[in-house]
Structure 1
Amino acid sequence: MLRFFLIILFLITAIVIFFTQTQPYYKDIKTLIAERDEYQVALVDSRELQTLRDQLLSQYNTISQDDFNRLGKILPVSIDSGSIIVMFEDRARENGILLKKIDVIESKESTSDSTTALGALPLPYKTVGLSFSISGSYASVLSFFSDLEKNLRLIDIKSISFSSSPADIYEFNVSAKTYFTPVSPLTAVADTKKSEGAKEILSMLTKLRAVKIDTDFFSGDIYKSLVDFLPVLEMPKEYGRPNPFILPPEAATPIKK
């Protein structure tokens, strides 16, 4: 009988010790096990991340500086309105047509350009609207549009309306758009930095999985046929006097009394 009570007493004591002393440590152990599993997954992901990064950098380094510069003009990181306007003026003059008006509409993308499906990644580029009017002969206008088609800077024609006159002079009103990306995808690959934490590693891994570098693009006939019509605008190195109403010392003449 005494043995039975001792067994019951030991069981009760063990239960009390478990719930008062062991259980808090048991919860900590479960938390540590979960964290260990999470870090093991993060370690596997980090190794895959490093492998993907090295593969992309290897492809990135095969691109020549000339191709990289041309790619930066196809999809620049910003829009230089002045260069675009000068390019249109040069193409119009070279083809013997009159550029009557051009507007660069630097505003947010329209809903049709920026809307993506639910859960889809946002578009990696933004659009800028172009609106211009030209007039000239049919052959000259056709040559002008041919230049835009083979231009290195991407320009998509959205709509065209035109009118003609008995003198074989056509007037076109054109709506178009061009593109730019705030951050170059290739630069983003080259500037990949180490991330800390499982969530950051998983986020970076997801992004790198979506990056594809097609180096065959640079050897294609279409890419090689593109012509860089965009001019380089240089700002003057010297400026005028701070105060235009004060003559410089060498130009000042003494006043005779």
Structure 2
Amino acid sequence: MKNTTALLLLFLSVALFYTFTRPYYEKVQTLRTSAADYQNVLDNMSRIAETRDQLLVDYNGIPKVEIERLGKVLPDHVDTVRMAQELDTIASAHGIALKNVRIDAAFAQDASLPVLPENEKPYNKITLTFGFISNYANFRRFLEDLEKSLRIMDVRGLVFQNSESGLSEYQTSIDTYWLRAPVSESDTTLVKTANELSGIDFKNNLFTALAYRFLTDFSTAIPSEPVGRPNPFDVIGRD
């Protein structure tokens, strides 16, 4: 009888555990996991906020003029008019008149095409080709100015043809670059965001480095053209 009662109680205990206790236990475990996840999110948000505040302090400590210069070193968009004008400014300083300036269509189209992850870079580039006639001395000075231009310009190709007059005809191609717009990722986690922000390092010594100070800004402001009448409500007179 005692054995039967003991077995019955054991059976009831097991049944009670699986029927009532186990489901509540699993819910408690789920809540503990959720609480840990929420705490992790809060910790990461706090970490991101602290990193953001420090980055803002570092960024605000950079002189405005240096931020403008950096924007010319590697601009965030393509402005073919300004690039052509900048090249013309450099060339005209050495008595060189550029001709047949064009943009390589293969590179120009890259900006509108989707970027594959394995080929993704934080920057893009275009190739400009142009020709001119010059003597060798002015040609060398022109190349030296391209080298020290604030805008990054890499000479990629050069073809020339000599003549008895001392003037040569040159055909040159250069690469220049611009920053890609950042692509937001829908699956970006707070941990990944925090790690990326923590990896940013402002190197203020860049602005005092001789190689950076040596660069020259050859860009010129493009004046805006007036549009319409100063006062559109004025009566239009007749001649």
Matched with 1:149 is 147
Q: Counterparts of 2:28 and 2:237 in 1: how far apart (Å)?
A: 85
Trace 1:113-124 onto structure 2 (pairs within 5 A): 122-124=120-122
Matched with 1:5 is 4
Q: Which whole-Å deviations, capped at 9, do the CAs of 1:151-200 have from their partners, x for residues lacking one?
A: 1111111122222111111222222111111448xxxxxxxxxxxxx963
Matched with 2:89 is 90
- Closer, same or farther in 2 for the Cα pair 1:132/1:224, shift >3 Å? same
Would the aligned equivalents of 1:130 and 1:177 in 2 still touch at CA under 8 Å?
yes
In structure 2, stretches of 5+ residues that fail to align are: 230-235
In structure 1, stretches of 5+ residues that fail to align are: 185-197, 241-247, 252-257
Q: Counterparts of 1:21 and 1:144 in 2: how far apart (Å)?
A: 86
Matched with 2:21 is 22
Q: Which whole-Å deviations, capped at 9, do the CAs of 1:98-142 have from their partners, x for residues lacking one?
A: 212211342317xxxx888x6xx9422111221111220011111
Q: Counterparts of 2:188 and 2:79 in 1: how far apart (Å)?
A: 38
- SS of the residue aligned with 1:228? coil
Q: Counterparts of 1:124 and 1:210 in 2: how far apart (Å)?
A: 15
Matched with 1:78 is 77
Give TM-score scaled by structure 1 length.
Answer: 0.77
Q: Which whole-Å deviations, capped at 9, do the CAs of 1:30-72 have from their partners, x for residues lacking one?
A: 2222222323333433343333323322221210011111111
Q: Counterparts of 2:205 and 2:213 in 1: how far apart (Å)?
A: 12
CA RMSD of aligned residues (A): 2.5
Amino acid at match of 2:198: R
Give TM-score scaled by structure 2 length.
Answer: 0.83
- Closer, same or farther in 2 for the Cα pair 1:128/1:173, shift >3 Å? same
Would the aligned equivalents of 1:91 and 1:147 in 2 still touch at CA under 8 Å?
yes
Amino acid at match of 1:129: T
> How far 1:219 moved relative to its partner?
1.0
Q: Counterparts of 1:210 and 1:170 in 2: how far apart (Å)?
A: 50
- SS of the residue aligned with 1:91? helix
> After the TM superposition, which of the residue ranges 99-108 and 144-153 deviates more from structure 2?
99-108
What is the percent sequence identity of the aligned residues? 27
Trace 1:129-148 onto structure 2 (pairs within 5 A): 129-148=127-146
Matched with 2:232 is none
> How far 1:236 moved relative to its partner?
0.7
Q: Is 1:212 aligned with 2:201?
A: yes
